[in-house]
A and B are shown apart, each in its own frame.
Chain A
Amino acid sequence: MAGNDAPHDALFINEERLKQLQKWAAIAPQSNEEDLYLIRELNNQLNEMVIKVLDPALDSSLENIMPTHYGVNLNGRCASMRDDIVEPWPDPEALTEMAPRSRDGYFVVPVNKHESLK
């Protein structure tokens, strides 16, 4: 299996890569214990599962087939897409009131510190 070969070593996750992923995902590191669990499980998944997608035995079959976004071919089976018309929600106040913070029909979030362009 190609997945066990050295060229895929870069696929695996170390502490530095985890930090990068956490930043992209807007998830802060919680504890060393949780981070270690995440690294272990993510690498297990990569090693046991994900890497099988790279199995070179699949190469010739995959070359001759188009990627598909759905298993079922939906062409001609679905109704035409509805018109792109925006309709007002009947009770917008109920939506904004559900927000953690809102005022005058707007969602309120912390303001980012202004940084002047150099």
Chain B
Amino acid sequence: MSESLCKYSATELRALIQSRQVSAVEIYDAHVNQINAVEGRSGGVDQEEGENNYSDDQHIHAFVKPTLFKSARAKAEAIDNDIHRGIDTGLLGGIPFAVKDIFCVKDTHTSAASYILHNYIAPFHATAVERILGEGGILIGKTNLDEFVYGSSTESSAYKPVTRNPIDPSRVPGGSSGGSAAAVAAGEAVFSLGSDTAGSIRQPAAFCGVVGLKPTYGRVSRWGLIAMAASLDCVGPLTKTVKDCALALQVIAGLDHKDWTTVTDPLSSSETLFSEDIIQQSMKGLKIGWPSEYFEDPDLIDPIEGDDILKAVRHAAEIYKSLGAEIIPISLPHTAYAIPAYFVISRVELASDLHRFDGVKYGHRTSNPVKDVYEMYEASRTEGLGVQPKQRILMGMHVSSAGYADQLYERALRLRALIRQDFDHAFEKVDVIMSATTPTTAFPIGGIYGDTVQMQNADRLTVPANHAGVPAISLPCGLDSSGLPIGLQLIGPDFTEDRLLQVAFAFEQVYKQTPIDH
């Protein structure tokens, strides 16, 4: 049974553990065996990508570092003991999970997939991680990502070999939470934690055929998340099912005094969300917005690959109609400006955020002789940062410098307000908005890496929700002609994750994608 345990959802495994049909140790061992079977060699900053290396090509490489087997197995044993003694083991007791290596985990290496943090050991837990651990989750490893989350394919990581898509290892897993999505899709972790600044949870979820939720800005604490663009960054889960997404969100959400942007708005218990009655009621008369720009603008949907994607999303709309929902055409007129505004806002914020990496308090410092502290900063940053963070910092310096700040940055902030206004107007007419998650399915490794404009365009259907701050979920809704997963994106008004998850769940129950056989 051990291998098949890797196919179960968190909700199913939780029930099996509680009813003592399976132990936490058995679940843990099954996932370690799966990692040993599919993961391949461990990542490292001093490793080159294998040239025509068959073994690397056929493995997933979801993790940046070997997993934390020793302490994790001991925790699984402790949970089993607690269950035998009738002690509550928490909402996620005995469930192995993975964390994108952009979150601080106390006493573990936390790299942001960058050489500049190759020796950094976090002295505290990120709040989201602490909450999962507090509910009995078992951390099985830290997953790979684009360096400092700058990318949409996980290829810019300093940690090689690159992460591969479990559905087709010649393809990227998406990014920047590519390792988190791949680990769940490959059965290496039951669920994982990611971050989403422009689509970095939803896009890899879509590419790898899993569920990914970007909660409303302020729903989940960002404490302990290494910032990319603080006004856009959101923490959220990647899971096998919508129910698991609700469960993970319930655990990580809520007020945190270490992050003043977290809100007091309540969230329902995941156990009460998905009864058949509630789902039926929630679908009858539900108004789903169909934004014309997302389906008709050739700059937004890839004209070649878009056919399969459009078919899948139209099919999803038919399913919703059959459940009693109404599909209503709407307009989000400033969608085409979302990526340009994002380019300006994110670069300005990240250039500021990345100034802290200077080789003084932690991280890489040059070992070459330097004449003063300024030369030390420059040499340490030059050696430690990859080319993608560098170009983003330089763009941030450029567009925020005298003469451009008002012209570009302030204008981009106003543009963000306009995009937000689009959503406000739309939600006066509809309850939820639907679209494809991505303009293409997973592209080949090396296919567009290095072309920064094309790479950023991978986020063009996801980034508007980041500007608006509204919650959005991606769930599988079909396969393209190559067998690659297609993601359906559902977007809701502020702090309506409960409803969004119910709407997603209703679709998931009707449309069951062929299970991924690993």
Interface residues of chain A, those whose CB is within 8 Å of chain B, are 11, 13, 17-18, 21-22, 24-28, 30, 34, 37-38, 41-42, 44-45, 48-55, 58, 61-62, 65-72, 74, 77-79, 81-82, 89, 91, 94-95, 98-101, 107, 109-113
Given contacts A30-B382, A45-B453, A53-B415, contact A95 B261 (CB under 8 A): no
A50-B395, A53-B408, A110-B375 given; name 17 further pairs at CB < 8 Å.
Answer: A21-B394, A49-B339, A53-B341, A62-B415, A62-B418, A67-B417, A68-B413, A68-B416, A68-B417, A70-B217, A71-B416, A71-B467, A72-B217, A72-B470, A74-B218, A89-B123, A98-B123
Q: Pick the contact of A50 from B218, B261, B371, B399 — CB < 8 Å?
A: B399
> What is the number of residues of chain B that contact chain A, defined by CB distance less than 8 Å?
81
A67 to B373, CA, bound (A): 38
A-chain residues with CB within 8 Å of residue B419 when the two chains form the complex: 71
B262, closest chain A residue (CB): A78
- Please tell me if the beta carbons of B376 and A109 are within 8 angstroms of each other in the complex: yes
B385 x A27 contact (CB < 8 A): yes
- In the complex, residue of chain A having the shortest beta-carbon distance to the beta carbon of B367: A100
Q: Choose one: A25, A49, A50, A72; the contact of B351 (CB below 8 Å).
A: A25
Which among B120, B382, B413 is the interface contact of A69 at CB below 8 angstroms? B413
Residue of B358, B394, B420 contacting most chain A CB atoms (<10 Å): B394
Query: In this assembly, does B370 line the interface, its C-beta being within 8 Å of a C-beta of chain A?
Result: yes
Rounded to whole angstroms, the CA-CA distance of A77 and B339 in the bound complex is 28
The reply on B100 being an interface residue by CB < 8 A is no
Contact yes or no, A79 B255, CB < 8 A:
yes
Closest Cβ neighbor of A24 among chain B residues? B397
The residue in chain A whose Cβ has the minimal distance to the Cβ of B382 is A28
- Check: B513 CB closer than 8 A to any chain A CB: no
Q: Are B360 and A107 in contact (CB under 8 A)?
A: yes
Q: Are A71 and B217 in contact (CB under 8 A)?
A: yes
Residues in B neighbouring A71, C-beta threshold 8 A: 217, 416, 419-420, 466-470
- Say yes or no: is B281 at the interface (Cβ < 8 Å to chain A): no
Q: Within the complex, what minimum Cβ distance (angstroms) separates A91 from chain B?
A: 7
Q: Which residue of A lies closest to B390 (CB)?
A: A27
User: Given A21-B394, A27-B381 in contact, is the A49-B421 Cβ separation under 8 Å?
Assistant: no
Instruction: Contact check, B470 vs A42: say whether CB atoms are below 8 A apart.
Output: no
Contact of A78 among B218, B411, B466 (CB under 8 A): B218
Complex: A65 Cα to B414 Cα, angstroms:
6
**Bound state CA distance, A6 and B255, in angstroms?**
50
Using a CB-CB cutoff of 8 Å, which residues 389-419 of chain B contact chain A? 390-391, 393-395, 397-399, 401, 404, 407-408, 410-419
Q: Contact at A27–B378, with CB atoms within 8 Å? A: yes
Report the separation of the CA atoms of residues A100 and B414 in the bound assembly, to the nearest whole angstrom: 42
CA distance in complex: A63, B155 (Å): 40
- Report the nearest A residue to B340, measured CB to CB: A52
Q: Which of B372, B394, B412, B421 is in CB contact (< 8 Å) with A27?
A: B394
Q: Is the CB of A42 within 8 A of B374?
A: no
Q: A21 to chain B: which residues have CB within 8 Å?
A: 394, 397-398
Please tell me if the beta carbons of A34 and B394 are within 8 angstroms of each other in the complex. no
Q: Is B265 an interface residue (CB 8 A)?
A: yes
Residue of chain A at shortest CB distance from B121: A98
Chain A contacts for B372, CB-based, 8 A: 110-113
C-alpha spacing A62/B417, complex, angstroms: 9
Q: How far is the CA of A11 from the CA of B411 in the complex (A)?
A: 15
Verify B452–A26 contact, CB threshold 8 A. Answer: no
- Does B379 sit within 8 A of A, measured CB to CB? yes
Q: Return A88 CB to nearest CB of chain B, in Å.
A: 13
A17 CA to B398 CA, complexed, in Å: 9
Do A79 and B257 contact each other (CB < 8 Å), given the known contacts A53-B340, A72-B217?
yes
Given contacts A25-B393, A25-B394, A52-B340, contact A110 B373 (CB under 8 A): yes
Q: Is the CB of B413 within 8 A of A54?
A: no
Is A113 within 8 A of B398, CB to CB?
no
Contacts A26-B381, A48-B453, A112-B373 given; does A54 touch B411 at CB 8 Å: yes
What residues of B have a CB within 8 angstroms of the CB of A48 in the complex? 453
At the interface, yes or no: B173 with Cβ under 8 Å from chain A? Answer: no
- Nearest A-chain residue to B419, judged by Cβ: A71
Chain B contacts for A112, CB-based, 8 A: 372-374
Interface code B317-348, partner A: CB below 8 Å = 1, 0 otherwise?
00000000000000000001101110110000
Rounded to whole angstroms, the CA-CA distance of A26 and B231 in the bound complex is 24
Q: Is B362 close to A, CB under 8 A?
A: yes
**With A24-B397, A99-B361, A110-B372 as given contacts, are A82 and B257 in contact (CB-CB < 8 Å)?**
yes
Do A109 and B360 have beta carbons less than 8 Å apart? Answer: yes
A contact residues around B411 at 8 Å (CB): 53-54, 58, 62
Partner of B408, one of A37, A54, A61, A111: A54
| Least distance between A100 CB and chain B CB atoms (Å) | 4
Could you give 25 example pairs across A and B, Cβ below 8 Å?
A: A26-B378, A27-B381, A28-B382, A41-B451, A44-B453, A45-B453, A49-B453, A49-B456, A50-B343, A53-B340, A54-B408, A66-B414, A68-B413, A74-B218, A74-B263, A78-B218, A78-B261, A78-B263, A81-B260, A82-B260, A98-B121, A99-B360, A100-B364, A109-B373, A110-B372
